[in-house]
Amino acid sequence: MEYIYEHKDKVRDYECDLQGIVNNANYQHYTEHARHEFLLTRDISFAELHEQGIDCVVSGIEMRFKAPLKSRDEYVVRINVRKEGIRYIFLQDIYRLPDNKLCLKAKVEAVCVVNGKLGDCDILERSLCNC
C-alpha cells in the first residue's frame, strides 16, 4: 500500500504491561495521535472544526496485531485515507524501526457530525481527498 503520511515516535516505559510489551490499548493512542498530527499537516484542527459545528468522530476501529513493540522501540505510523460514502477510512500501519517489522494493521472509520447531523464535511473533502 502507498502511504501519504508518516509519524515517528518512541515507546515509553509506562506504556508496557507486565510482559514487557506495549499494552494493546496504547496502539489505539498511537494511531489517534498520528491521525491528529496528519490532519494538522493539512491545516485541519478539531477545535476549529468544533467551533464551526463540525465534529469528526470515530465510528469503528479494527486492529490486527502482528508483532509486539517493547520499551524504547522506535516506530512509525504510516497512513493512507479513502472515502466510502460519508465515512473516512484511515488505514494505519505501525512498523518498528529500524527493521520495518510490521507490528499493527489498523482500519479506523470516522464520520462527521455537521450541526448535529451525519453528513459530508467540505473542509475534509478539500483537505484529504485524493481519496
Cβ atoms of 69 and 103 within 8 Å: the answer is yes
At residue 3, does pLDDT exceed 80?
Answer: yes
Residue spans of the domains in the chain: they are 5-129
Cβ atoms of 17 and 23 within 8 Å: the answer is yes
pTM over 0.95: no
pLDDT, tens only, 17-52:
999 999 999 999 999 999 999 999 999 988 899 999
- CA pair distance 55, 20, nearest whole angstrom: 37
Between strands 5-10 and 74-84, the pairing is antiparallel
Active-site annotation holds for 17: yes
Supply the mean pLDDT for the chain: 94
- Which of 9, 17, 99, 122 is catalytic? The answer is 17
In this structure, CATH architecture of domain 5-129 = Roll (3.10)
- E strand spans, the chain: 5-10, 54-65, 74-84, 87-97, 101-114, 117-119
The CB-side HSE value for 88 (13 A sphere, CA atoms) comes to 27
